[in-house]
């Protein structure tokens, strides 16, 4: 292999380090339901597709780098990719948390469904919400926008600058704040519903202690919660997709 070909292979591998580590954590593409081989070849295919636009940035660095610098570049690219993927993953974690809150608020917390994003069991309502949001990410073509954002990340996070710990922690804190504020906005109607309904049930139980009000009222609480969920699911997912699209567009 000629030195020029060796530099190009290393440049493509550096792109694969950032793209592959990012796809390990991004919503949808990192699902446990997708086989590992499929995810590996998908990351490799995306890396090859992006290489014409990125090799001109990486090749000058690779040609002048010694072995220690090359190892540092590989580690930097892996960390940068994991950081970008984790920022996107935070939104899905917040959505899952909101789904758990809603399921507990309307009495569906014990109804376990088939997990989609993770391997751990989750309430059926959480599975429904996360699966719908993941489908919308692909329908709205946000996976292609993520690829465009990865190309733009080489300007904001150049490989030669290394992995900046302090700015990364600040960005992650801001992202956590935004994502869980979104979670609160999404689940707030159901929290209010749970407070009002449980207060009314507790008061009725005190007035008629001979009757098991809680067990009698459970189907009605569940029906009311599902009724609210039916009429708010559109706004629920719209808020989530707006914030996720804003993060993809602005980084």
Residue 149, pLDDT score: 82
Number of Cβ within 10 Å of residue 81's Cβ equals: 26
Token digits for 27? 């919503």
Q: How many domains does the chain have?
A: 1
65 pLDDT higher than 80: no
DSSP 209: T
Give Cβ neighbours of residue 74 (< 8 Å, ≥ 6 apart).
13, 14, 17
Q: Are 187 and 101 in contact (CB under 8 A)?
A: yes
Residue holding tokens 């602005």?
250
Residue-wise pLDDT tens digits, 141-184: 887 788 888 888 888 888 877 777 788 888 888 888 888 888 88
Percentage of residues in the chain with pLDDT exceeding 70? 95
Residue 113, pLDDT score: 66
Full residue range of the structural domain in which residue 243 is found = 3-250
Local structure of 65: helix, strand or coil: coil
Strand-pair partners of 122: 113
């Amino acid at each position: 292999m000629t030195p020029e070909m060796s530099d190009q292979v290393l440049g493509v591998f550096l792109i694969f380090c950032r793209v592959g580590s990012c796809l390990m954590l991004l919503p949808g593409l990192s699902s446990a339901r997708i086989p590992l081989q499929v995810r590996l070849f998908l990351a490799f295919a995306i890396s090859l597709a992006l290489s014409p636009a990125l090799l001109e940035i990486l090749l000058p660095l690779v040609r002048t780098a010694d072995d220690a610098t090359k190892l540092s570049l590989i580690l930097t690219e892996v960390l940068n990719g994991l950081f970008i993927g984790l920022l996107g993953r935070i939104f899905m974690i917040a959505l899952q948390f909101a789904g758990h809150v809603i399921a507990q608020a309307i009495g569906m917390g014990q109804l376990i469904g088939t997990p989609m994003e993770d391997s751990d069991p989750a309430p059926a309502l959480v599975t429904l919400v996360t699966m719908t949001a993941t489908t919308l990410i692909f329908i709205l073509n946000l996976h292609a926008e993520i690829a465009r954002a990865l190309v733009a990340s080489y300007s904001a996070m150049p490989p030669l600058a290394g992995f900046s710990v302090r700015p990364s922690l600040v960005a992650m804190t801001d992202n956590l704040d935004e994502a869980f504020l979104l979670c609160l906005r999404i689940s707030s109607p159901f929290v209010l519903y749970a407070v009002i309904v449980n207060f009314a049930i507790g008061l009725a139980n005190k007035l008629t202690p001979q009757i098991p009000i809680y067990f009698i009222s459970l189907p009605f609480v569940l029906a009311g919660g599902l009724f609210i969920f039916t009429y708010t699911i559109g706004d629920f997912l719209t808020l989530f997709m707006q914030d996720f699209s804003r993060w993809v567009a602005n980084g």
